[in-house]
A = this chain, B = another copy of it.
Amino acid sequence: MQDKYQLLRQHFEEIVTLTDEEWKIIAPHFEHKKLKKHQFLIQTGQPVDCEFWIINGLIKSYAVDEKGSEHILQFAMEDYWVSDYYAFQHQIPATIFVDCIEDSEFFCLSLESREIICQKIPAMANFFRIKSNYGFIGLQQRILSLLTQTAEERYDALLFKLPKLVQRVPKKLIAAYLGVSRETLSRFKG
């Protein structure tokens, strides 16, 4: 178990440096948890107590429309952060679902804990700032791909960027991420 916390520290130290003193303050704010395939981290209408850092497994966040169709906001795998950030930040009930595509292990961090850590340890404010920046940039790229590319071009780009993910999950989930029907996606390529 201690090794899992080691992984978390390493994740921070890829971007900032932490003293052992600082780590002693940080670590207790993180709670280690496991869930099995199909279990939920977040359900709509429920409070969003945490954001999550994935140790292993595969998780998806998604909205469900009136017709019951899923629209995937994010696939979160090893080393990714995930939550319903809108609800988490505003401390309101969730509007999206987050659940496990595979058995998964992760750390939980509450909003209160995050803010305490950022106030006490400037390096951590910088860590979250830089991470958030990269997240922002990633989402801008995705918006551009939705605006400028056809569904098939987006599929090709994803195949190129994350070939293993495309193998790892049912194609209907890939379709729900790309914004195309599973039938149409099934007709792409040779």
Contacts and interface: CB of A to CB of B under 8 A. Distances in A.
A-B interface, 9 closest residue pairs, ranked by CB to CB distance from nearest = A129-B129, A139-B139, A132-B132, A122-B122, A71-B147, A125-B125, A146-B146, A147-B179, A136-B136
A186 interface: no
Interface in A127-143: 128-129, 132-137, 139-143
Given A73-B140, A146-B147, 5 more contacts: A73-B143, A85-B140, A86-B140, A119-B126, A129-B132
Interface of A: 63, 65, 71-73, 85-86, 89, 96, 118-119, 122, 125-126, 128-129, 132-137, 139-144, 146-148, 179
A125 B122 CA distance: 8
B137 A89 contact: yes
Given A125-B122, A148-B71, A136 B85 contact: yes
A144 B73 contact: yes
Nearest to A132: B132
Contacts of A141: 86
Contacts of A146: 143, 146-147, 179
Contacts of A137: 85-86, 89
B133 A143 contact: no
